Amino acid sequence: MNSYKAMQIENRYDCVVIGGGASGMMAAITAARNGARVAIVEHTARLGSKILQTGNGKCNFTNLDMDISKFQNDNKEFVGQVLDMFDQNATIEFFKELGVWHKERAGYVYPHSETAASLQEALRLEVERLGISVYLRCRASEINKVSDNTYDMVLAEDETDNKVGISVINIIIATGSKAAPKTGSDGSGYKIAKKFGHTVKKPLPALVQLISDNNLCKSMAGVRSTGKVMLYVDDVCVSSDIGEIQYADYGISGIPVFQISRYAVEAVDKGKSVKAIIDMIPDISKEELYNDVRIRKECETTKSVEQFFAGIVNKKLVYAACKNIHIDINASVETLKLTQINNIIDELKYFCFNIISFKGFESGQICQGGVVLSEVNASTMASHLADGVYFAGEILDVDGMCGGYNLQWAWSSGFVAGLNAAMNIR
């Protein structure tokens, strides 16, 4: 007799949500509002830990410019279908009803308090108000199908031997990915999905820093400067973005690097050649720069190369560009040929970082990969393989760009899963 059979069923629920993060709380709230008796099983000590870290503690919870082009996974139509059922306006309205007003900057939407904790707490209080049972520090140690529409589950408390048996009709798996595992998303949800027969595409970090073997990285470390990053995989440009690039001793970071990172990570993982080319002066054309230096070279004869470029771009970047083409940054511009100065411009406009690796799951904001979408119904978030099983959030093979798209995916998919799980009991 296994431990499950020995367990007495203590509680019966219409719907159990495994994972009390953004998508899990949304799913639980929606199911409860639609008449279901709901429980959340969360293996950390609190609900919504990751929300606290989002948007640098300010929580960029959606974006007014919502479109499937903001998602980078295959099968964007699936994402579009789900977003259509609960979009950015529905999200803003949902949180306003919970007392969380919003603030918008260039389409990026934050709580009016600019505090992630206010949004996390609003969700937690709504979970409480709706009488949703919350099992903290617990995981589903066993799940057994006992009839056509019932599962029995054993919930085990992690640090004690305490176990409780529950009976459920629907299970929503909302355990997140492997990104930022300290917040609780340790990838254990993939194992649960696999037990229901689901296929998991290899999870890899996304929205993550890239590591280069360029030996000039150390000399550029600490610089934050507007740049355009173009990602080349096997010499083909596959993605680009513009914004504040952060140069680090290991390589490159910053929002534009995050935006292109999932393609770099995927390509590095497959052993392809990956290069990030950075235009360090993206707002001035090469021709304008050539023209400027041609005119100034005639009159600013006493300046060093460093002084000559000081008003255009950070000197650490000029140093690296000069190093690449063996020009001394302290040399007087008078001693250099115009072609040599133009070569410095060429370097600054097309600086190459060979990408050899990427930071790990601890550093990635999200994961690419996860439960494959072809095994899930986009209209309901129900599993095609197991009755009464639903998915929500980042456990699925969906990854959005920076800008509130990943949380919007959590809200939309959580809403659709919660609603349909509640309908499944009627």
Q: Is 34 in the site for ligand FAD (CB under 6 A)?
A: no
365 or 368: CB nearest ligand FAD: 365
- Per CB under 6 A, the segment of 36-44, 144-152, 198-206, 304-312 that binds ligand FAD is 36-44
CA angle (412, 116, 400) in 5-degree steps: 40
CB of 17 to ligand FAD, least distance (A): 9
CB of 45 to ligand FAD, least distance (A): 9
Among 66, 119, 143, 180, binds ligand FAD (CB under 6 A): 180
Count the residues of the shown chain that bind ligand FAD, applying the rule CB under 6 A: 38
18 or 344: CB nearest ligand FAD: 18
Residues belonging to the chain:
426
Contacts of residue 70, defined as CB under 8 A and 6 or more positions apart, other chains included, come to 63, 400, 401, 403, 405
CB of 200 to ligand FAD, least distance (A): 14
In the window 70-109, what residues touch ligand FAD (CB under 6 A)? none
CB of 369 to ligand FAD, least distance (A): 13
Q: Is 44 in the site for ligand FAD (CB under 6 A)?
A: yes
Q: Is 368 in the site for ligand FAD (CB under 6 A)?
A: no
- Per CB under 6 A, the segment of 118-126, 244-252, 253-261, 406-414 that binds ligand FAD is 406-414
Q: Is 55 in the site for ligand FAD (CB under 6 A)?
A: yes
Among 36, 41, 268, 422, binds ligand FAD (CB under 6 A): 41
24 or 203: CB nearest ligand FAD: 24
Which of these, 58, 39, 46, lies nearest to 21 by C-alpha position?
Answer: 46
Residue 98 corresponds to which amino acid?
L
Which residues in 34-73 are b (16+ Cβ under 10 Å) and which e? Answer: bebbbbbbbbbeebbbbbbebbeebbbbbbeebebebbbb
CA distance 259 to 71: 10
Adjacent-strand bridge partners of 358: 210
Long-range pairs, 287-292, Cβ under 8 A, ≥24: 289/345, 289/349, 290/342, 290/345
CB of 190 to ligand FAD, least distance (A): 9
Among 92, 122, 174, 248, binds ligand FAD (CB under 6 A): 174
Among 410, 417, 419, 421, binds ligand FAD (CB under 6 A): 410
CB of 33 to ligand FAD, least distance (A): 18
CA angle (356, 352, 222) in 5-degree steps: 80
39 or 345: CB nearest ligand FAD: 39
Q: Are 422 and 14 in contact (CB under 8 A)?
A: yes
CA angle (137, 142, 147) in 5-degree steps: 130
151 or 353: CB nearest ligand FAD: 151
Rg (alpha carbons) of the chain, rounded to whole number: 26
Q: Is 175 in the site for ligand FAD (CB under 6 A)?
A: yes
- How many Cβ atoms sit within 10 Å of the Cβ of residue 186? 17
Q: Is 54 in the site for ligand FAD (CB under 6 A)?
A: yes
Q: Is 227 in the site for ligand FAD (CB under 6 A)?
A: no
CB of 179 to ligand FAD, least distance (A): 6
CA distance 72 to 262: 8
- Per CB under 6 A, the segment of 180-188, 294-302, 322-330, 341-349 that binds ligand FAD is 180-188
Which of these, 314, 316, 283, 312, lies nearest to 300 by C-alpha position?
Answer: 312
Q: Is 203 in the site for ligand FAD (CB under 6 A)?
A: no
CB of 288 to ligand FAD, least distance (A): 36
Q: Is 198 in the site for ligand FAD (CB under 6 A)?
A: no
Contacts of residue 111, defined as CB under 8 A and 6 or more positions apart, other chains included, come to 58, 59, 61, 95, 100, 101, 102, 103, 118, 119
Q: Is 418 in the site for ligand FAD (CB under 6 A)?
A: no
Q: Output the CA torsion 405→407→412→416 (10° steps).
A: 140
Adjacent-strand bridge partners of 377: none
Residues in touch with ligand FAD (CB under 6 A): 18-24, 41-44, 49-50, 53-55, 59-60, 139, 174-176, 179-180, 183-185, 188-189, 365-366, 393-394, 404-407, 410
